[in-house]
Amino acid sequence: MKFNKVLDDVKIYEAGKPIELVVREYGVDPKDIIKLASNENPYGTSPKVIKRIQEISQNMYMYPDDSMFQLKESLANKYNVESSNIIIGSGSDQILEFAIHAKCNKNSKILMAKTTFAMYEIYGKQTGATIIKTEDAQHNLEQFSKLYKEHNPEMVFLCLPNNPLGECLDTKDVYEFLKEIDSETLVIIDGAYSEYAKYKDENKKIIVDDLISKFPNVLYLGTFSKAYALGGMRVGYGIGKKDIIQNLYKLRPPFNITTLSLAAAIEALNDEEFVKECIAKNFEEMKRYEDYAEQKGFEYIPSYTNFITIKFDDKYISSEVAQNLLQRGIIVRDLTSYSMNAIRITIGKKEQNTKVFKQLDEVLDILK
């Protein structure tokens, strides 16, 4: 059977390995498995959200409010925008899919960092667009500017902070770059981890209403999957000028999030204290990973997220380290597919991280 030729050059996205796979393949007891590969909030979902889901679980047979009025109103209040500036998606990646399909075709070009969220390239190639990448793995705005002037792309992606590396540009530098961009170029600013970045450094904070007011060609993406601990509910959102949002709505299917997901997201916004506590613990524990890497002589990328990227020298191969940890029930992300001899580790709870350090010590001793 023949399929669209553009799919020949599209790679399948590799999600973090599930706990069930480790149980099946390695016989590890589920209670002994620590999943630190998908950047989920290890502290779980807010008790208030869980209570709300239990209260309305009998409504699962009903479609959600397709206007998503209450959620959009809550987000509008949070970001000081209008509800008409917001679109809700099944994860923020659905919004970026809408944006790419609304803007790009086989004659288009899309600019992004060399190492960034894989779905930018995957969705782009689905339209037949040409992908332009910087030479540096991390966001280098000088290279972005040079490539933008050279190629005049239809879209630009800035992942702030960047996944899977963890670095983040200062907002003032982003604004200076945006001033160079033509009004017909759609710029996506992916803020999936923005709650972590602004907690760690005010210079990384993006004021969304100011952003879209000054730059009407920008679409900001946010998600409930990370800091709000609703990864399993799949709720994201896009914020931009009304003409952008109206065009994205032409691609949105009806009822694109569930009744329970909608209720969970609304309730999550009512418990910001839970989110702040989780983020504070995240950076307390991240310091332990930084200290560990320094003690071992490993380079790491200073992170503004809920994960850390640790690079290995020639003594170790990241795929072997990740595989050995997996056999012990520790799930991390090997970055070999990004042409990096490194692993990405989600920052877990204190007791989880203590176990990771012990197991990693043993694995490194075996592999040296």
Cβ contact 64:259 at 8 Å: yes
Cis peptide before 161 (omega within 30 of 0): yes
- Please give the structure tokens belonging to residue 51: 């209570």
Cβ contact 184:323 at 8 Å: no
Best CA proximity match to 325, nearest among 35, 48, 112 = 35
Residues of the chain with pLDDT under 50: none
Q: What distance in Å separates the CA atoms of residue 363 and residue 315, rounded to the nearest whole number? A: 12
Q: What is the pLDDT of residue 323?
A: 92
Domains of the chain: 5-45+273-367 (3.90.1150.10), 47-271 (3.40.640.10)
- pLDDT per position as a tens digit, 42-95: 999 999 999 999 999 998 899 999 999 999 999 999 999 999 999 999 999 999
Residue with tokens 């983040």: 168
- Please give the structure tokens belonging to residue 60: 């699962």
Q: What distance in Å separates the CA atoms of residue 87 and residue 209, rounded to the nearest whole number? A: 15
Best CA proximity match to 270, nearest among 92, 48, 77, 44 = 48
Q: How far lies 210's CA from each of 76, 179, 238, 243, 246, in Å?
A: 13, 14, 15, 17, 20
Best CA proximity match to 351, nearest among 359, 343, 363 = 359
Q: What distance in Å separates the CA atoms of residue 4 and residue 168, rounded to the nearest whole number? A: 36
Q: What distance in Å separates the CA atoms of residue 198 and residue 204, rounded to the nearest whole number? A: 5
DSSP assignment of 237-302 = EEE--HHHHHHHHTTPPTT-S-HHHHHHHHHHTT-HHHHHHHHHHHHHHHHHHHHHHHHHT-EEE-
